[in-house]
Structure 1
Amino acid sequence: MKPKIVSIFSGVGGIDTGFSHAGFQTVFANDNWQNACDSFKANYPDAEVVCASIADVDFKEIKKKYGDIDGLVGGPPCPPFSKSRFYRTDKKRGLEDESGFLTVSNYFRALEELKPKFFFFENVAGFVYKPHQAALEMVQSESQRLGYKIVYRVVNAANYGVPQIRQRFICVGVRKDMPDFIFPEETHSELGDETHKKWVTCGDVIGNIDFDLPEDKDKQAGSKHKELLKLVPPGDNYLFFTKERGYPEPIFKWRSRYWSFLLKLSPEKPSWTIQASFSNNMGPFHWKNRFLRIQEIQRIQSFPDDYVFLGKFSDQWRLIGNAVPPVLVEVVAKQIKNEYFK
């Protein structure tokens, strides 16, 4: 019998896919975006999927229905804790943001009502930044109050075999009567060595996909800067055109744009973070000066090729960009499975 997990803030199921590959079964999933719920159900037809606010989910009833739950998994929506909030003076940060407090507090309400053996909590790397100290302290104090001991760290997905440099905060909590959880060792590094494989690159996963289709005339990679994009070397961005980089007639000032502006992938490196929003001039773009295709960012996020994403192009992009790379989750989930469910 597979250990049972309840999934919240499920999105399209990146976390669930990692746990599924490690031998767990999602019995219940929740999200408040209908397209995410429909896509999740298409991939996990045996799971109960409820599309509603987390505040409206009765987890005591879920436990009555499915019996003892082994694990709670989920990544509360991250905008309130993201780096971008440092620049958005019009919006509150962390727990001061109503949605930030709502999601984190309801995560621990679910934990209290389900009383699982373990929990998996994921968020952006900014969760550990000093301005968000209250959120991290809430995770620590609520875990303590509910009888769980936790281990957390910021990890780079590329160091676990994902072809993407993506920093994420991962916290694993287990009941106090269980052995301490030990994070799995990193399996990959940039150059590789005796104990690590080399990073998986974009060329490794999308170099053999032939998607050189004609560009949509209304949506060209780079937008009004499409000609500049063609000049950017693979692995570089708009900084190529700055005085500091020695460009003869500088076009942009140093660090005047987002890092992803005119950012182009290199086939010799992992991708940079695939974000949830799609833009005409924000990369990463393919090294052949075009937009990435859904099938390509799907591989960069380490989803199986047969995984289903519903909705229009921008919806599918958002589903993938918001997800946690399944390969990263699988490494952690296997460690949980081997330690506590032998």
Structure 2
Amino acid sequence: MPIPIIDLFAGPGGLAEGFSSVANDNGDRVFSIKLSIEKDAAAHKTLTLRSFVRQFPLRQLPDEYYRFVEGEISLDELYQLYPEQYTEAQSEAWQATLGQTPSEEVDQRIVTSLENQNDWVLIGGPPCQAYSNAGRSRVGGINEEDHRVYLYKEYLRIIARHHPSVFVMENVEGLLSAKLNDEKIFGWILRDLADPSSVFGDHNSPGYRIYSLVKNKVTKHSDYLIKAEDFGVPQKRHRVILIGVREDILKRPDILTHSEKVGLASVIGMLPKIRSGISRSYSHSEDVMKKDGSNGKKRFYSRFESSYEAWKQQIEGFSSELLSKLRMEDFTEQFPETMGAEFVKTNDMQLDEHHSLFEWYSDRNLTGLTHHVSRSHLLQDLKRYLFAALYTRKNNRFPKLNDYKLFDENLLPDHCNVDSGKFTDRFRVQLPDSPATTVTSHISKDGHYFIHFDPVQCRSLTVREAARIQTFPDNYIFCGNRTEQYHQVGNAVPPFLAYQIAEIISNIFQEDVENQNEIAMHPLLNFLLPQGRQIEIF
């Protein structure tokens, strides 16, 4: 019987995707996602769709799913063709706001979903904005009135009330240094998780041993930090991930096995080339006085024709100027004509079959690529993107704002904080031969930190490219508008990393059963043990 999973703060389902991809020798799923809770409407819709996918055997999706992917039928039509699977998906994916939805209602859903099974896994990560370095800098530190600081307590309450065998809790690196009233938050989170009854004594909760996935022996808080690029993820994503094992379980988890780093170009470099669009242009008028007393310029925006010919004329003019100043040869590549689409029918999307992630991304029934459509950008930003990509190609590093200033002051963005020194990497080209930088939800706002390394495309990354960086399989569909899709991808746990964690968790269950059987074969040992005492076999 599959091991049940309850997924809290599920986002689009990155953790669940990893766990549900672990199979036994017969090809059956080891884990079964019983309940996924998420408050965001678009992410919940994505969760429902992926739950629908899991109602079918691994890698055995019906033909109608691919008709939906290609846009031949709607999502509603797909669900109508498989009402039983859709009903199961609706039961699993629940749109609710943890911390606001009554705890009695949450508890009842969990009890119903578990169907009296005592051995199960809790996964999820409480919202992290309050702990992130960027979030703290915006508000000048952590505010004790910020409810997000305490949302982990809802996670803890569920542990105390329902006693999972194992839990997996994920959060941002900033949690390690976050303080409230001069006390490190991470320290009291560790204490609470190890002894939930100290916070919720009315639940009579067992204790938990807290483990690192990268260190056999923990000597400092940073030993709980996982660097995703060390484990085959093409992204420098650093996250705190805790494994809690109920005190009656005799097996401690293994640690993750390091693998070779995966360069960005090896996972997105083969995708169809597409161009950016031009959203608008602006011109300046006379100086005006800003509220803070500094001088500024008033902008007048105009819409800009975004046809290929108009785009090409502008980019050719920019490239001729920049290539000459950078003393680089002209392009040998052709400018791409299309901006892409929500579904691009193509065979040019497969990784090299020897690539470590080939099987992970691939679905041989796909006839094209989803979510591969470019954004339109401000005309002046396109010149900066082009300069940044050309500079990076020549120097193997992206330019900082000071490089723009030395090259051509007109390339500097017109922001009052441009000389503050806080945003020197405002335009970041992703290096082709290295793992990408962390994909965050900020990618939904603009693409300045996620500029494609190919100058002729002159654009930021698409949703599908961001999804590949996050290791979502190519048949993973994100619901909602494009901004919502970017937001979901940026907030997720990389599924391939989650898959490796899930394999470790599955071994805990398998080996604990073996250890329990060995103890049962020694009645004298059991006789000598005081009632209620547990053996630790490490």
TM range (shorter): 0.7 to 0.9
State the one-letter code of the partner of 2:382: K
Name the counterpart of 2:42.
Answer: 35
Distance 1:50 1:63, change over 3 A: closer
Distance 1:122 1:236, change over 3 A: same
Match of 1:317 among 461, 483, 486: 486
1: CA distance between counterparts of 2:437 and 2:480?
24
Match of 1:280 among 443, 446, 451: 446
Does structure 2 retain, via aligned residues, the 8 Å contact 1:172–1:181? no
Q: SS where residue 73 of structure 1 aligns?
A: strand
Structure 2 runs not aligned, ≥5 long: 23-29, 53-87, 197-206, 213-223, 281-374, 413-417, 512-538
172-181 vs 114-123, which deviates more? 172-181
2: CA distance between counterparts of 1:227 and 1:246?
14
Match of 1:160 among 226, 231, 235: 231
152-161 vs 75-84, which deviates more? 152-161
- CA deviation string 1:104-130 (max 9, x = no partner): 110011111221100000000111115
Alignment of 1:80-99 (within 5 A): 80-89=130-139, 93=142, 96-99=145-148
Q: SS where residue 243 of structure 2 aligns?
A: strand
| 2:17 maps to 1:17 | yes
2: CA distance between counterparts of 1:281 and 1:267?
17
State the one-letter code of the partner of 2:185: A
Does structure 2 retain, via aligned residues, the 8 Å contact 1:202–1:271? yes
Name the counterpart of 1:193.
Answer: none
Q: SS where residue 138 of structure 2 aligns?
A: coil
Counting matched residue pairs gives 328
Name the counterpart of 1:171.
Answer: 242
| 2:187 maps to 1:140 | no
2: CA distance between counterparts of 1:127 and 1:161?
24
| 2:279 maps to 1:217 | yes
Alignment of 1:1-342 (within 5 A): 1-22=1-22, 23-45=30-52, 46-47=88-89, 48-55=92-99, 56=101, 57=103, 58-65=105-112, 66-68=115-117, 70-89=120-139, 93=142, 96-101=145-150, 103-131=151-179, 133-146=183-196, 147-152=207-212, 153-179=224-250, 181-188=252-259, 197=260, 199-218=261-280, 220-221=376-377, 224-232=380-388, 233-234=392-393, 236-239=397-400, 241-242=401-402, 247=406, 253=419, 255-257=421-423, 259=425, 261-277=426-442, 278-280=444-446, 282-288=448-454, 289-341=458-510
- CA deviation string 1:191-235 (max 9, x = no partner): xxxxxx2x1111111111014145243464576332122122156
Distance 1:311 1:281, change over 3 A: closer
Does structure 1 retain, via aligned residues, the 8 Å contact 2:129–2:148? no
Which stretches of structure 1, 4 residues or longer, exceed 6 Å deviation after superposition? none
User: What is the RMSD computed on CA atoms of the aligned residues?
Assistant: 2.5
1: CA distance between counterparts of 2:110 and 2:95?
18
State the one-letter code of the partner of 1:26: I
Does structure 2 retain, via aligned residues, the 8 Å contact 1:160–1:186? yes
Structure 1 runs not aligned, ≥5 long: 189-196
Distance 1:182 1:36, change over 3 A: same
278-287 vs 150-159, which deviates more? 278-287
Structure with bigger gyration radius:
2
Q: Percent of aligned positions with the same letter in both sequences? A: 24
